[in-house]
């Protein structure tokens, strides 16, 4: 199984994360009480995203992400796969640009590049969970990885 990456903030292991400068505050994102509860979790969640037919996986180690995915995120099927792929490509490009600038962006949040190839069909589940992780991360850490406000 080939790994696209490992996402981890709370447990600075191996990983790739997104960070950087952003305008505005969390209050402008309308963070709900349930979402604040997910963001405040200290115990590590591990979510493994895999597509056996393409042999790719992502491992996300982030306190609160699994709870957020199950209770806050839009359900599977809400977005089309092409929408998710397009957004993930934008988020990955912005993330990888930040990885290459450790003096400008916090390298503890994104130590490794994301190996995401837009020519590979990772399947719906991988794209869905990767997209939602990007939304979760942007909302939790008040970051922006593209021109879109990270909304649910």
How do strand 46-51 and strand 56-61 relate by DSSP bridges? antiparallel
Helix 81-99 vs helix 124-140: crossing angle, to nearest 10: 50
The confidence band for 63, taking pLDDT boundaries of 50, 70 and 90, is confident
Q: Where are the domains of the chain?
A: 2-140
Q: What is the pLDDT of residues 100-148, one digit of tens each?
A: 999 998 887 877 888 899 999 999 989 999 999 999 989 988 889 999 8
C-alpha gyration radius of the chain:
14
Q: What residues contact residue 59 under an 8 Å CB cut-off, 6+ apart?
A: 3, 5, 6, 7, 46, 47, 48, 49
Range from 4-8, 84-88, 94-98, 106-110 carrying the lowest mean pLDDT? 4-8
> Which tokens belong to 20?
């950087």
The pLDDT of residue 25: 42
| Whole-structure pTM value | 0.77
């Amino acid at each position: 199984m080939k790994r696209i990456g490992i996402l981890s903030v709370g447990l600075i292991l191996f990983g790739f994360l997104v960070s950087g400068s952003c305008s505005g505050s969390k209050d402008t994102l309308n963070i709900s009480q349930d979402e604040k509860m997910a963001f405040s979790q200290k115990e590590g969640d591990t979510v493994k995203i895999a597509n056996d037919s393409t042999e790719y996986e992502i491992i996300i180690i982030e306190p609160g992400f699994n709870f957020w995915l199950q209770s806050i995120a839009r359900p599977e099927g809400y977005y089309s796969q092409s929408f998710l792929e397009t957004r993930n490509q934008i988020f990955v490009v912005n993330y990888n640009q930040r990885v290459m600038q450790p003096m400008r962006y916090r390298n503890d949040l994104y130590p490794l590049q994301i190996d995401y190839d837009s020519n590979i069909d990772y399947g719906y589940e991988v794209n869905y969970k990767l997209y939602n992780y990007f939304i979760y991360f942007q909302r939790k850490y008040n970051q922006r990885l593209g021109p879109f406000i990270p909304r649910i």
